[in-house]
Chain A
Amino acid sequence: MDVKIINPFINATLNVLETMAFVKSEAEKPYLKTNNHSKGDVSGVVGFTGETNGTVFITFDEACIVKVVSNMFGEELNEINDDIKDAVGELTNMISGQARKELEEIGKVFQGGIPSVVSGKNHELMPMTKGPRIAIPFKTDFGNFTIEVALEG
C-alpha cells in the first residue's frame, strides 16, 4: 500500500479539522481493516480515480462531530442532525480537494468523486474498489474519529 497516496488524506483531515473547527487531533496506531463495520456514528465517503482508484472514509463518533460542527457554525449543537450530516459531506469534500492538491504536487493526479454521508450506529462502509484497507484512528479532546483508505490492487 503506497503511503504517498494515503498520507495526503491524513494531512488534509488534520488540517481541515484544525483550520475550520479549531480541533487538534492525535493519530494512534494504524491497522489493516478486514471488515466493513464503521467505528463511529457518521461517516463521509469519497472515491477517487487516477493512477489507482480508491475510497476514503472518515468516521466520527457523535461527541467528536458535534463539537467539530458546533465550532464551524459558531453555535452549540447537541446531537447528529441533518445539518451535521451535511457538514460531514462538506468536510469530506474539503479533505478530498486538499489531499488531491497535495498529490498533484508530487505528480499524482486524481479526480475526486462526490462525497456521500452514511450514519447510524454500526453503519457499514462499502469501498468502491477491491484491495487492502488501512484504518488510522485519531483522538481529540472531544471524541474520536477514524480515517480509512481502501486502495485498488
Chain B
Amino acid sequence: MNLDMKVLIVDDFATMRKIVRNVLKQIGFTNMTEADNGKNALKILKKENIDLILCDWNMPEMPGIDLLKAIKSDDDLKNIPFVMVTAEAQKDNIIEAVKAGVNSYIVKPFSAETVNEKLNIIFKD
C-alpha cells in the first residue's frame, strides 16, 4: 500500500477528523486533507487528486451515504476507494452502504491496526 497517497477525511466534527488523522499518522500516512461535510468533500474531489476517502455517516447537508452515492455515480470519481468510518453499526446501515458500493466499512471505535488491515485489503495488488 502506498503511504504517500492523498487521503480525504470527511467528518462534520473537527475533533473526529483530528482523531482519524492521528490514526492514519500511526499507520504512516502523511498526505491528508479534510472536509466538514459531503458537499465540501465533492468540491475537493473535483479539484484535487484524491486516492482514498474516509467518511463519516452522520453529517449535515450531505450525509456520508449520499456522498458515497454521488461519488459512485460520477465517472471521474467512482474508482476512488471509499471507506465509511462511523458509529452506525446496525445491519441496515451496513447493507445500505454495501449496496451503494462502499469499499469498506469501519465501525467506531477503531484501532490503527483495524484501519490498516482494511486498507491493505482494498489496496491489495
Contact = CB atoms under 8 A, between A and B. Distances in A.
Contacts of A79: none
B13 A90 contact: yes
B19 A73 contact: yes
Nearest to A112: B87
B87 A97 contact: yes
A70 to B, nearest CB: 11
Given A73-B22, A74-B25, A104-B90, A98 B109 contact: yes
B14 interface: yes
Given A16-B109, A73-B19, A83-B15, A94 B26 contact: no
A104 B88 CA distance: 12
A16 B107 CA distance: 11
Interface in A68-123: 72-74, 83, 86-87, 89-90, 93-94, 96-98, 100-101, 104
A32 interface: no
Given A16-B109, A87-B15, A98-B109, A93 B87 contact: yes
Nearest to B90: A104
A72 B107 contact: no
A52 interface: no
A97 B15 contact: no
Interface residues of B, number: 20
A97 B108 contact: yes
Contact of B108 (A87, A89, A94, A104): A94
Contacts of A86: 13-15
18 contacts: A15-B109, A19-B111, A20-B108, A74-B25, A83-B14, A83-B15, A83-B18, A87-B19, A89-B15, A90-B13, A90-B19, A93-B108, A96-B87, A97-B86, A97-B87, A98-B108, A101-B107, A104-B90
Interface of B: 13-16, 18-19, 22, 25-26, 86-91, 107-111
Interface of A: 15-16, 19-20, 72-74, 83, 86-87, 89-90, 93-94, 96-98, 100-101, 104
Given A83-B14, A83-B18, A97-B89, 17 more contacts: A16-B109, A19-B109, A19-B111, A20-B108, A20-B111, A73-B22, A74-B22, A83-B15, A90-B13, A93-B108, A97-B87, A97-B88, A97-B108, A98-B87, A98-B89, A98-B108, A101-B107
